[in-house]
Amino acid sequence: MVNPYPILPRDKGSEPMHDYATHASVKAIYASENVSASSVITLTEDTTALEIAAIGASPTGAVMRWVSSVAAFGAATSVISTAGTANFDHVIPNNSVVRFAIPIEFQATNPSSVQGANRLNGLYRRVAIKSIGIGSVLLTEY
């Protein structure tokens, strides 16, 4: 079974500490302040987990969408939160942080040893995020 994800810290009794950050080092960060347009982010080759925070005055938070590696940039990659045309995968409540293990998009058939864990394991390579209304969206890659 594929398990490229960072491990959770453990307490003295070897139990996972679920509410604590992972041991992994930060691969990249992205901050979108007071922008309600969709942003598509290409993840690093080593990214296997994300944290997304929605912060600001808007009471509604942010939305995110996993973007297929075969989708061309443009409307097919945007995340939309408008009723009737919405296509988001997850909602991040205002003033909160949500952690994601990046899901597998496809099964890698010819893995090369000269690539990061994201590509090696066929994980999603892009994600789209946007605030709903006025607010900031912060994304950290692990």
Nearest CA to 55 among 126, 140, 141? 140
Residue 43 has pLDDT above 90, yes or no: yes
70 versus 91: the higher-pLDDT residue is 91
Better-predicted residue by pLDDT, 2 or 115? 115
The whole domain housing 51 covers: 28-141
> Could you give the number of structural domains in the chain?
1
* Cα–Cα distance for residue pair 121/115, rounded to 1 Å: 10
For residue 134, give the CATH number of its domain: 2.60.120
Model pTM? 0.81
Asked if residue 7 belongs to a domain, the reply is no
Residue 10, in any domain of the structure: no
**Does residue 37 form part of some domain?**
yes
Looking at residue 96, its pLDDT comes to 92
Looking at residue 32, its pLDDT comes to 83
* Model confidence band, residue 73 (pLDDT cutoffs 50, 70, 90): low
In a domain, 50, yes or no: yes
Residue 117 has pLDDT above 70, yes or no: yes
The answer to whether residue 34 sits within a structural domain is yes
The answer as to whether 66 is a domain residue is yes
- Residue 139 confidence class, pLDDT cut points 50, 70, 90: very high
Decide if 127 is inside a domain: yes
Q: Is residue 12 included in any domain, yes or no?
A: no
- The CA distance from 82 to 26, in Å, is 32
pLDDT band at 114 (very low <50, low <70, confident <90, very high): low
110-122: b (≥16 Cβ within 10 Å) or e? eeeeeebbbbbbb
